Copies of this chain bind each other. A is one copy, B any other.
Amino acid sequence: MEAVASQNAGRVMDGPTNPMVTPLLTDLYQFTMAYAYWKAGKHNERAVFDLYFRKNPFGGEFTVFAGLEECIKLIANFKLTEEEVSFIHKSLPGSCEEGFLNYLREIDCSDVEVYAISEGTVVFPKVPLLRLEGPVAVVQLLETPVLNLVNFASLVTTNAARHRLVAGQSKMLFEFGLRRAQGPDGAIGASKYCYIGGFDATRWFADNVAAGRLFGIPLRGTHSHAFVSSFMSPDEILERSLCSSDGSSTCEDFVTLVHSWLSKIQWLKSLGGIFGETNQSELAAFISYALAFPNNFLALVDTYDVIRSGVPNFCAVALALSDLGYRAVGIRLDSGDLAYLSSEARKIFHTIEKELGVPGFGKMIITASNDLNEETLDAIRKQGHEVDCFGIGTYLVTCYAQAALGCVFKLVEINNQPRIKLSEDVSKVGERILCRHPFSESKRAYVVPKRVEELLKCYWPGKSGRSSEYPSSPWKSKVREELPALKDIRDHCIKQLEQMRPDHIRRLNPTPYKVSVSAKLYDFIHFLWLNEAPVGELQ
């Protein structure tokens, strides 16, 4: 522990979640450029880079910005080790001067300032999400890792938000894509960002344990088809006793109790004799799982036949548990027509509640999974269903509908020379402003702001005392914004989505959200444009 503490001395915050996120998580050409900048004596020229995207993903008209915390953690701990420096030395084409290696040994991000939109904010194309300002060579080294950390994070958060919008607010949504994700932290990252995008914290099944540990997302579990088929029959269950919930009594033969309930429901007239003999290996698996988790019995009911075997087996075990004061959680469907099967299962639960007088039995939780995506969630909703919780995997975490977001990182200023830069322009509430389309002179309108928000906040101010040398722009706040807790990022995201006009966020044919600039900013952009056109450039 002491070794770790001394290693961390001077660290202002923890490093990135994935220990593989180091200064070497970059393209080699960032280091070759750094050498060329250094050779040209330009490496310390002050540059400003903006990170933004050009098109919303998934055919939608909004994106949720995420990945900021990981970027700041990388920047706060950006320092090359001696091993890394010597690797870069070996990797550079041709030889490089020793002075450059010494330079690499010295660099960190104390001269870098980071301004960003809050994580979890709803954002739009061409709006800077992240602005990095600092020595050009250092900021270039950050380009690739920062793009990597923001691109997938924003994409999967947006995907989660879209799934939430289609499923509706009343349903519970669980991410369980670990097995199909694009590598280990394709999965761990996805768990975190799906939570930010509005997925639920309390999970009943198929959870990613590593993500739960890292981000404090509470976890629950169920069982798989293999668990069911690993049993042969209830005869093999040797330890059959179960203590009642309050500890006052013990049922010596829980298996026989389940069997007696199974006979009872098999002869319920109102169910019309739809149950015959149920599958015995399934029944054995359910009993064993209930004996292990009497308070958290959630059964996967589709290994053989949902309505004729899975649901009655579940009901029999749940009723036996009820006798002992336990309350079963519910069932999970992983195949078939989820809308139909959930409705049929619900009818059976209601019938049992009514006929056998078991209060609350009708409200058993029905969870559903099986290659769900926006389209299938929408179809199930239109068909009418009784599912309470959806488990979404592959299509969610791999962003199957669009596997990449194309954020770019562009130089907008060097040595206080703007290179076409879209500045901030904060107006006051209630003041009428002439707004214009950023690139089309004829499109304009007067607008009275309902709400004014400063978009870019300072998340990494660099070292103090440097601000006199490079005077800050008026829009810049050097007060460092704290990184919010995961839960607060999630709340912010949900609130942002609630504030959106529904037609901007609907799934089919959404209305584009218009980003305008004030007349003052429009004139400034025009001035820059003319000023920036390279002399002698031939089109």
CB distance from A21 to the nearest CB of B (A): 5
How many Å lie between the Cα of A394 and that of B399 in the bound state? 13
CB distance from A160 to the nearest CB of B (A): 14
- The residues in A between 130 and 153 inclusive whose CB is less than 8 angstroms from any CB of B are 136, 140, 143-145, 147-149, 151-152
- The residues in A between 368 and 395 inclusive whose CB is less than 8 angstroms from any CB of B are 394
- The residues in A between 264 and 297 inclusive whose CB is less than 8 angstroms from any CB of B are 276-281, 288-289, 291-296
Q: Which single member of B29, B212, B223 contacts A224 (CB below 8 Å)?
A: B29
With known contacts A18-B185, A36-B288, A94-B294, A279–B221 Cβ distance under 8 A: no
Beta-carbon nearest neighbor of A147 in chain B: B179
Asked whether, in the complex, the Cβ of B178 is within 8 Å of the Cβ of A152, the reply is no
- Comparing A164-172, A225-233, A449-457, the segment that makes contact with chain B is A225-233
- Comparing A101-109, A202-210, A425-433, the segment that makes contact with chain B is A202-210
CB distance from A129 to the nearest CB of B (A): 14
With known contacts A182-B183, A183-B182, A399–B403 Cβ distance under 8 A: yes
With known contacts A40-B288, A184-B185, A294-B94, A27–B207 Cβ distance under 8 A: yes
Q: Which residues of B contact A539 (CB under 8 A)?
A: 305
Q: Which single member of B93, B406, B419, B538 contacts A220 (CB below 8 Å)?
A: B93
Asked whether, in the complex, the Cβ of B537 is within 8 Å of the Cβ of A305, the reply is yes
Beta-carbon nearest neighbor of A295 in chain B: B94
How many Å lie between the Cα of A179 and that of B25 in the bound state? 10
Which 8 A-B residue pairings sit nearest by Cβ, starting from the closest?
A32-B221, A93-B296, A28-B207, A147-B179, A182-B182, A398-B403, A29-B221, A36-B292
CB distance from A447 to the nearest CB of B (A): 33
Q: Which residues of B contact A87 (CB under 8 A)?
A: 209, 213
- Taken residue by residue from 481 to 505, chain A's Cβ proximity to chain B (1 for < 8 Å, 0 otherwise) reads as 0000000000000000000000000
CB distance from A169 to the nearest CB of B (A): 25
CB distance from A119 to the nearest CB of B (A): 16
**What's the tally of chain A residues with a CB closer than 8 Å to chain B?**
125
How many Å lie between the Cα of A93 and that of B289 in the bound state? 12
How many Å lie between the Cα of A430 and that of B293 in the bound state? 57
How many Å lie between the Cα of A292 and that of B400 in the bound state? 43
- Contact surface of A with B, Cβ cutoff 8 Å: 3, 18-22, 24-33, 35-42, 45, 47, 49, 84, 87-88, 91-94, 96, 136, 140, 143-145, 147-149, 151-152, 156, 176, 178-189, 203, 205-210, 212-213, 218-227, 229-232, 237-239, 276-281, 288-289, 291-296, 304-305, 308-309, 394, 398-400, 402-407, 409-411, 414, 417, 419, 534-539
Asked whether, in the complex, the Cβ of B148 is within 8 Å of the Cβ of A178, the reply is yes
| 21 chain-A/chain-B pairs, Cβ below 8 angstroms | A20-B210, A21-B184, A28-B221, A29-B221, A32-B221, A35-B292, A36-B223, A37-B227, A39-B291, A39-B292, A94-B294, A96-B292, A136-B230, A144-B179, A148-B181, A182-B403, A185-B185, A226-B409, A230-B414, A398-B404, A399-B403
How many Å lie between the Cα of A280 and that of B220 in the bound state? 62
Q: Which residues of B contact A147 (CB under 8 A)?
A: 179-180
With known contacts A185-B20, A280-B534, A140–B180 Cβ distance under 8 A: no
Q: Which single member of B25, B35, B45 contacts A184 (CB below 8 Å)?
A: B25
How many Å lie between the Cα of A151 and that of B288 in the bound state? 31
Asked whether, in the complex, the Cβ of B419 is within 8 Å of the Cβ of A229, the reply is yes
How many Å lie between the Cα of A209 and that of B145 in the bound state? 11
Beta-carbon nearest neighbor of A238 in chain B: B41
Q: Which single member of B179, B222, B237, B277 contacts A538 (CB below 8 Å)?
A: B277
Asked whether, in the complex, the Cβ of B180 is within 8 Å of the Cβ of A230, the reply is no
Q: Which residues of B contact A136 (CB under 8 A)?
A: 230
Q: Which single member of B25, B37, B187, B237 contacts A40 (CB below 8 Å)?
A: B237
Asked whether, in the complex, the Cβ of B94 is within 8 Å of the Cβ of A206, the reply is no
CB distance from A401 to the nearest CB of B (A): 9
With known contacts A185-B183, A203-B28, A226-B140, A295–B93 Cβ distance under 8 A: yes
How many Å lie between the Cα of A25 and that of B148 in the bound state? 21
Asked whether, in the complex, the Cβ of B227 is within 8 Å of the Cβ of A36, the reply is yes
Q: Which single member of B206, B305, B536 contacts A280 (CB below 8 Å)?
A: B536
Q: Which residues of B contact A96 (CB under 8 A)?
A: 292
Q: Which residues of B contact A411 (CB under 8 A)?
A: 225-226, 229-230
How many Å lie between the Cα of A94 and that of B295 in the bound state? 6
Asked whether, in the complex, the Cβ of B178 is within 8 Å of the Cβ of A27, the reply is yes
Q: Which residues of B contact A33 (CB under 8 A)?
A: 221, 223-224, 227, 289
